[in-house]
Amino acid sequence: MTNDGRRLRGLRSREVILAQAVGLASVEGLDGLSLGRLATATGTSKSGFFAHWPDKEHLQLDAVDWAARQWTEHVVAPALRAPAGVRRLFALHEARLKFYKDGVLPGGCFFFTAQVEFDDRPGPVHDRVARAMGEWQEFIRRQVTEAIALGELAQGVDPAQLAYEIDALGEMVVIHSRLLEGQESLVRARRAVLQRLRALCPDPELLPED
């Protein structure tokens, strides 16, 4: 096998392991990542793991980055196909709800689990999780700011505040869909953001009525 072939096979193996790791961490947390369990799930030897990661912390860091890329592919990229402004902002929220509804991850949301696990644990993993979540918040704020600039949200809207509200309503689905309301939480979260945006939009007909 050529060097290029071995490199490609190594990259594919790494991707398979990270996909399994992110799914497992969404349920059991990043500390729940067991090399033995991942090796069994992916058919990889433990020695194969050390070819990619020298220790568990490096695996955790790469899992955070992989989860961020997954989020971009499933949530951000579909939303960017919507027209810029308030419609893209709502499309972003809907794409997030679809991610949860489709059960892409068994635990619902990798970052919800990771933030609870590492919010009080300083270190490289804490910082990587915080950076990813900060970038997500900033992306929502930019969509709000653009909608204001386009005249599709009222000039007095505070981008940081509205982004916080939209993110919080999306995050609540992770808890409520499993412990309280089931699929009804998706309906409530969609309706809450839709009503908020229609109330702030000079032309609410840009958005669906319900």
Task: Judge whether residue 4 has pLDDT over 50.
Answer: no
The DSSP string of 83-140 is PTTHHHHHHHHHHHHHHHHTTSSTTS-HHHHHHHHHTT--SHHHHHHHHHHHHHHHHH
- Between residues 45 and 154, which one has the greater pLDDT? 154
The predicted pLDDT at position 10 comes to 47
The predicted pLDDT at position 32 comes to 84
pTM of the model: 0.89
DSSP 127: H
Tell me what the mean pLDDT of segment 126-132 comes to. Answer: 97
Q: Categorize the per-residue pLDDT at 115 as very low, low, confident or very high, splitting at 50, 70 and 90.
A: very high
Give the chain's mean pLDDT: 90
Q: List, for residues 180-207, the tens digit of each pLDDT value.
A: 777 899 999 999 999 999 999 999 999 9
Tell me what the mean pLDDT of segment 35-57 comes to. Answer: 73
The DSSP string of 5-64 is HHHHHHHHHHHHHHHHHHHHHHHH-GGG--HHHHHHHHT--HHHHHHH-SSHHHHHHHHH
Determine phi and psi for 57, rounding to 5 degrees: -65, -40
Helices H, strands E: what count in the chain? 10, 0
The predicted pLDDT at position 183 comes to 86
* Cα Rg of the chain (Å, integer): 19
